Chains A and B, each alone.
Chain A
Amino acid sequence: MIDDGRALFLQIAESVEDAIIDGSLAEEAQAPSTNELASFHRINPATAAKGVNMLVDKGVLYKRRGIGMFVAEGARRLLLDERRTAFADRYVEPLLAEAAKIGLDADDLRALIRERASAHTTTGGSTL
């Protein structure tokens, strides 16, 4: 899963976030420890710790002294909001920019998205 584009600790943090978002790691459940993450991903434990600390700072994980790391209540909501903003920045912004170039406004885009989305559902969503 590790691609070398971005800082490794961000990718580790993201892998934990993904598990929280898809529900495989529930709120108030125990999160993998730094050492578990390090040996699973075969990375330096200090790097794994950096990723875990980032999630603690963000309020996604919290520490129970002597027991380990747990997923905070409300973590999933927090991450979904964050991903939504990131999605808008990364995909919607360039989409709008390109659309403006060829004379499509927001309403045209909305119509276009509906049209394509319904094509996806009729073909079972398997088309790309």
Chain B
Amino acid sequence: MTSVIEVENLTKRYGDVIAVDDVGFQIEKDVIYGLLGRNGAGKTTVMSILTAQNFASRGRVRVFGEAPYENARVLPRMCFVRESQKYPDDAKAPHAFRTASLFFPNWDQELCDRLVADFQLPMNRRIKKLSRGQLSAVGVIIGLASRAEITFFDEPYLGLDAVARQVFYDRLIEDYAEHPRTIILSSHLIDEVANLIERVLVIDQGRIIMDETTDDVRGRATTVVGDATAVESFAAGREVIHRESLGRVVSATVLGTLTDDDRRLLATSGLDVAPVSLQQLIVRMTQRAADGRTQNEGALR
């Protein structure tokens, strides 16, 4: 696997706040990543440092093997679709597209036109006057039509309704299939993007807590439901990341891939097995990471 981005010991401080805390990871070529995490976890900070729109306090960032800052060999090969992208006051969507077409060498005007029709984007209105969803559509169109070798989408869906989001996902899959490239998609709608992303990067309080293929993450946890005694005996010796009970019925989410023996055991002990969605798993993992930290801090005091 070739990596297009390499990050080592990356730290970003804003005054006393550590937004990104000694992070290291690699981004492989032509893979769709999900960059997931809570608000304020550090996702946007990481993406803006990678695209040279922000400075690192410490650490090393390499994009295509080079430092990205003011580097004309690197920057036109990357596209960053920001959630809060600003445009000039009097600009209309065609102005934004024309600017993008000058900057990105792989720009595809035909794809751009098709997407404008798909999203029914008004071309004659100033961007300032567009709705939140239409503004997001402008960003999505630039992100896709730029065909940059690395494209970052930072919560690109704000204000887009379910139909428009599906248009985005469908066009992304289609175009990626024909023009494979590296995509980093930051999203809170985890279950919506779960089937699109090949690898998952979860960032929590400035640290990477998960960096795996989505297929490995799937099946990493299972929820077993049934009689308390049977559930507890199955869960014994396993790591339980969540537990709920209602009378005698207990539902426990355990980590670890189930073996055939496990499945047999579950079947014979009459327990129900439910899959854990990527979203549920990440919610549980980030909660657990937060709990672990409070305990550690408690121990220090």
Q: Which A residues form the contact surface with B (CB < 8 A)?
A: 2-9, 34-35, 38-39, 41-47, 50, 89-90, 93-94, 97-98
Contact = CB atoms under 8 A, between A and B. Distances in A.
Contact of B177 (A38, A93, A98): A38
Given A4-B275, A8-B195, A97-B264, A38 B173 contact: yes
B194 interface: yes
B268 A2 contact: no
Contact of B215 (A8, A35, A98): A8
A4 B31 contact: no
A9 B216 CA distance: 11
Interface of B: 31-32, 169-170, 173-174, 176-178, 180, 194-198, 214-216, 218-219, 222, 260, 263-264, 267-268, 273, 275-278
Contacts of B268: 94, 97-98
B35 to A, nearest CB: 15
Contact of A41 (B176, B178, B195, B197): B195
A8 to B, nearest CB: 6
Contacts of B273: 5
Given A39-B177, A98-B268, A44 B219 contact: no
A42 B31 contact: no
Contacts of B215: 7-9, 47, 50
A42 B219 contact: no
Contacts of B219: 5-7
A4 B197 contact: no
A43 B194 CA distance: 8
A43 B264 contact: no
Contacts of A8: 195, 214-215, 218
Contact of B264 (A41, A45, A94): A94
Contacts of A98: 268
Contact of A44 (B173, B178, B276): B173
Nearest to A3: B275
